[in-house]
Amino acid sequence: MPSVVELVQSLVNGIGIGLIYGLIAIGFCVIYNASGIVNFAQGVFVMLGGMFAHTILTHYGLPIWLSAVLATILVAGVGVLVQIFVINPMWRRNAPLFAIILATLAVQLLIEQVVILTLGDQPRTYPEFTSGGPLKIGPIAVGYQLFWVLGCGAVMVFSLQQFFNRTRMGRALRACAQNREAAALLGVPVERMLIVAFALSSGLGAAAGILITPTQYTAYMVGGPFGINGFIAAIIGGFGSPPAALIGGIFLGVIQSEAIVFFGAGFKNIISLTLLLVVLLLFPNGLFGGLTKRA
């Protein structure tokens, strides 16, 4: 039986990784709500965020904040390219759902291979944003990076909420989510909104990747697991509002790290995927979507 300290420590770690899952989950939701497409290549943006930030930081010697901003913008650009060259043609041709899913998986493969060719396949990391050892609260260690994740996550969720509720473009996005045809009739440029959604969601993924890289590492293949966990978090949150997705992510992160304490690291994925199945079967609208039975 693990000690209390171990449990609390894993809880803290779980919240840290869970916030990252939450940010990725928000990215899923933004695209899904605007277009009804689940972008399974979402994880690749997380990886690109970390890789780009590292490259800019080490090769051009820019300060970390500038590298982070530049990397986020670059990855958002990649997201727009994916939308224009892959998703939009399929969307216009009314491609079936699963063909689009497969296309996003192919995009993931493509980007990963391009990254191997251009940036190499070595894992890499960079120092935490604020140097200095972990903050000790009694026997519990809290890394400074966790506070960065927490702060940035809060800022991003808050500004997204404002964006969706206050700005014209955010409202147009929500209109597309509710009824695409009606939105188009009212003069909302739906395809342009899709581009905005992709830019937003890939930027969010990149931010998550930039924030998590100092505590872990990044390499070309980290995208897949991040994408899957982000998707699980999105389903737990119910594909609804950004805060719900964030909470879903934290929930998943905590459960995963407790599972590591109780069952060992190998069972991390088994537990989280089982959790996904349970949520899908019992609460198809997510834990915060009410108990209505509708898949």
Partner 1 sequence: MTSLSITSPKPAARAARARLDWFQIGLLAVCGLLTTGALIYGGYLLTVFQLAMIYGIFCIGLNFFMGYTGQASFGQNAFACIGGYGSAILCVQYGWEPALALIASMVVAGVAALLIGYPTLRLRGHYLAMATFSLGLITYDISIQWTSLTQGYMGYAGIPPLGIAGFEIESERWKLVALAALLGFAFWISQRMRDSRFGRGLRAISGSENGAAALGIRVPRFKLIAFVIAALYASAAGSLFAHTVGFISPEVFGPQMAIITFTMLYVGGVGTMIGPIVGAIVASVLPEIFRSVGKFQDIAYAVVLLGMLIYAPKGLSSLGKLFRPRKKEEA
| Cβ proximity to partner 1, 80 vs 116, nearer residue | 116
Chain position carrying tokens 């899913």: 101
Distance CA 134, CA 279 (A): 35
Stretch binding partner 1 (CB under 8 A), from 137-145, 148-156, 170-178, 230-238? 230-238
Which H helix or E strand runs over 255?
A: helix 242-263
- Per-residue tokens: 159: 């500004």
Closer of 52 and 239 to partner 1 (Cβ): 239
Binding piece for partner 1, criterion CB under 8 A, among 48-56, 140-148, 193-201, 278-286: 278-286
Q: What is the CA radius of gyration of the chain?
A: 19
- Using the structure block, give the residue that is written with the tokens 């972008």: 39
Identity of residue 229: N
Which of these segments, 43-51, 69-77, 213-221, 227-235, binds partner 1 (CB under 8 A)? 227-235
Q: How far is the CB of 7 from partner 1 (least distance, A)?
A: 23
| Residue 270 binds partner 1 (CB under 8 A) | yes
Q: How many residues bind partner 1 (CB under 8 A)?
A: 40
Single residue of 3, 130, 162, 274 touching partner 1 by CB under 8 A: 274
Note whether 51 binds partner 1 by CB under 8 A: no
Contact 246, 25 (CB under 8 A): yes
- Does residue 267 interact with partner 1 by CB under 8 A? yes
Q: Residue 180: is it exposed, middle or buried by C-beta count within 10 angstroms (0-12/13-18/19+)?
A: middle
Among 144, 269, 288, 289, binds partner 1 (CB under 8 A): 269
| Closest distance of CB 97 from partner 1, Å | 6
Helices (H) and strands (E) in the chain, counts: 12, 2
Residue 288's Cβ-count burial label (10 Å; 0-12, 13-18, 19+) is middle
Looking at the Cβ atoms of 104 and 241, the one nearer to partner 1 is 104
Q: Is 290 in the site for partner 1 (CB under 8 A)?
A: no
Residues 89-128 that bind partner 1 (CB under 8 A): 89-90, 93-99, 101-103, 105-107, 109-110, 113-114, 116-117
Query: Taking the CB of residue 88, how many other CB atoms lie within 10 A of it?
Result: 16
Q: Are 213 and 205 in contact (CB under 8 A)?
A: no
DSSP for 222-234? SHHHHHHHHHHHH
Stretch that binds partner 1, among 133-141, 153-161, 170-178, 273-281 (CB under 8 A): 273-281
Give the binding site for partner 1 (CB under 8 A): 32, 38, 86, 89-90, 93-99, 101-103, 105-107, 109-110, 113-114, 116-117, 228, 231-232, 235, 266-267, 269-270, 273-274, 276-277, 280-281, 284, 295
